[in-house]
Amino acid sequence: MRTRRTFAVALCAIALTATAACGKDGTPGASNTSAGGSAAPALPTYTVKTDVKVDSAVLAEAKKRGQLLIGAKSDQPFLGWEDLASGDRSGFDIEIAKMVAADLGFTPQQIKWQTLVSSQREPAISKGQIDFYVGTYSINDERKKSVSFAGPYYVAGQDLLVKADNTTITGPDSLNGKNVCTATGSTSIKNIEKYSPKITQFDTYSACVEKLMSGEVDAVTTDDAILKGYASKYAPKLKVVGQPFTKENYGVGLNKDDKALRDAISDAIKAHQDNGDWKKAYDATLGLSGAVAPQPPALDRY
């Protein structure tokens, strides 16, 4: 009987310490990810359209729900980033998603974000876990078998991220036998394979960047836009080689059979490219990593 009581007391004590440990004060929201301070260009605001008539099953469902489910990445600075302390999402992909949502009749508050890594995109889109996906999603024919793409809204090129003091890696041709990291389920693997490096794969690029910083791999390869984001976030430590060797068209990924939604998203991208929102969004996000805004790409409707 006594042992039992001791045990109960011990349990209570553990429970108490456990709850007390959570009570530490903190100040969320003090985000320091959007570097650049007061001089940073302001983000554009988008007018939410009210009478949207698109004959789309996915959109009808979203209307009924009152929420738009958008898939995005959360660990790519200046592209698709989530500040964990405040819960805010920022980056160029996020801005594209917001402008498209506005033209479909959804305010930013009505967007429910879902973080998905590269290899989860196709099942999530085709099974309807999300309404559409905006996150460094290269358009290619293999993917068009299971999803469809609106856009492209940005053109990137595959490049290499190395440590700042690395002088031996100057481009893809110098990769022979080197250890190169990239993400599972990305197009980057296929493009790099022909330069015969040793390939390391993780589900996110941030895991690769960690491996680069700890010296496990010699280079990280993927699209330059993603790499520039990391290079500027970890400023003096890393650099982008700057020899893009592919062309990646970023599109908004959505259900394969929903042509109406695809056209509506393409229209939205076109409209915001024309009224200057696209450039403003670029300057306030990717532009912060030092690259000048390119011409927005021409849409590829099908």
Partner 1 sequence: MGFLFEDGNFALFRDGFLQTIELSALSALLALLLGTLLAAFRVSPVPVLRAFGTGWVTIFRNTPLTVLFFAVTFGLPPLGVHFSHLVFAVLALGSYTAAFVCEVLRSGINTVPIGQAEAARSLGLTFGQTLTQVVLPQAARTVLAPMSSVFIALPRNSAIAGAFSVSELYSAQQTFSERGYSIFAIFFWVACAYLVISATVALLFRFLESRLAVAR
Partner 2 sequence: MSKPFTRSTTAGVLFDAPGPKARARNRIFGVLSLLGIAGLLWYVFDALNDNGQFDAALWDVFQYTAIQQRIVDGLVSTLEAFGLAAVFSLVLGALLAAGQLSEHKPVRWVCVSVVQFFRAMPLLILIVALYYAFFAKEPMWALVLGLSLYNGSVQAEIIRSGVNAVPRGQGEAAYALGMRKTQVMTGILVPQAVRSMLPTMIGQLVVTLKDTSLGFIITYHELLFVGKAIATQPLNSAGFPYIPVVLVIGPIYIAMCLLLTALARWIEARGRRGANRRTSAAA
**Contact residues: partner 1, CB under 8 A:** 119, 122-123, 142, 145-146, 184-185, 200-203, 207, 210-211, 214-216
Cα four-point dihedral sign 78, 274, 134, 243: negative
d(CA 160, CA 212) in angstroms, rounded, equals 11
Residue 164, contacted partner among partner 2, partner 1, none, CB below 5-8 A by kind: none
Bridge pairing between strands 132-133 and 68-72:
parallel
108 upstream amide cis, omega within 30 of 0: no
Residue 64, contacted partner among partner 1, partner 2, none, CB below 5-8 A by kind: none
Q: How far is the CB of 145 from partner 1 (least distance, A)?
A: 5
- Tell me if 293 contacts partner 2 by CB under 8 A: no
Which listed range, 22-30, 135-143, 217-225, 253-261, lies at the site for partner 2 (CB under 8 A)? 22-30
Residue 141, contacted partner among partner 1, partner 2, none, CB below 5-8 A by kind: none
CA 20 to chain centre: 36
- Tell me if 273 contacts partner 2 by CB under 8 A: no
Radius of gyration over every alpha carbon of the chain, rounded to an integer in angstroms:
22
Q: At what angle do helices 224-233 and 205-213 cross, to 10 degrees?
A: 50
d(CA 30, CA 83) in angstroms, rounded, equals 10
Binding mask 197-216 for partner 2 (x = CB under 8 A): ------xx-xx-xx--x---
Among residues 4 and 64, whose Cβ is nearest to partner 2?
4
Which listed range, 21-29, 39-47, 96-104, 259-267, lies at the site for partner 2 (CB under 8 A)? 21-29
Q: How far apart are the first and last CA of the chain?
A: 77
Which listed range, 44-52, 81-89, 132-140, 167-175, lies at the site for partner 2 (CB under 8 A)? 81-89
- Tell me if 123 contacts partner 2 by CB under 8 A: yes
- Tell me if 25 contacts partner 2 by CB under 8 A: yes
d(CA 58, CA 56) in angstroms, rounded, equals 5
Among residues 123 and 157, whose Cβ is nearest to partner 1?
123
Which listed range, 11-19, 51-59, 154-162, 188-196, lies at the site for partner 2 (CB under 8 A)? 11-19
Q: Name the token pair of 144.
A: 């068009």
Residue 116, contacted partner among partner 1, partner 2, none, CB below 5-8 A by kind: partner 2
Cα four-point dihedral sign 104, 107, 108, 111: negative
Q: How far is the CB of 190 from partner 1 (least distance, A)?
A: 10
Q: At what angle do helices 92-103 and 259-274 cross, to 10 degrees?
A: 110
Other beta carbons within 10 angstroms of residue 54's beta carbon come to: 18
d(CA 176, CA 196) in angstroms, rounded, equals 5
Q: Which of 6, 28, 177, 275 binds partner 2 (CB under 8 A)?
A: 28
Size of the site for partner 2 (CB under 8 A): 45
What is the chain's percent helix, strand, coil content, to nearest 5? Answer: 40, 20, 40
Residue 222, classed as helix, strand or coil, is strand
Residues found near partner 2 in the complex (CB under 8 A) = 3-4, 7, 11, 14, 18, 22, 24-29, 31-33, 74-75, 81-87, 114-116, 120, 123-124, 126-129, 203-204, 206-207, 209-210, 213, 233-235
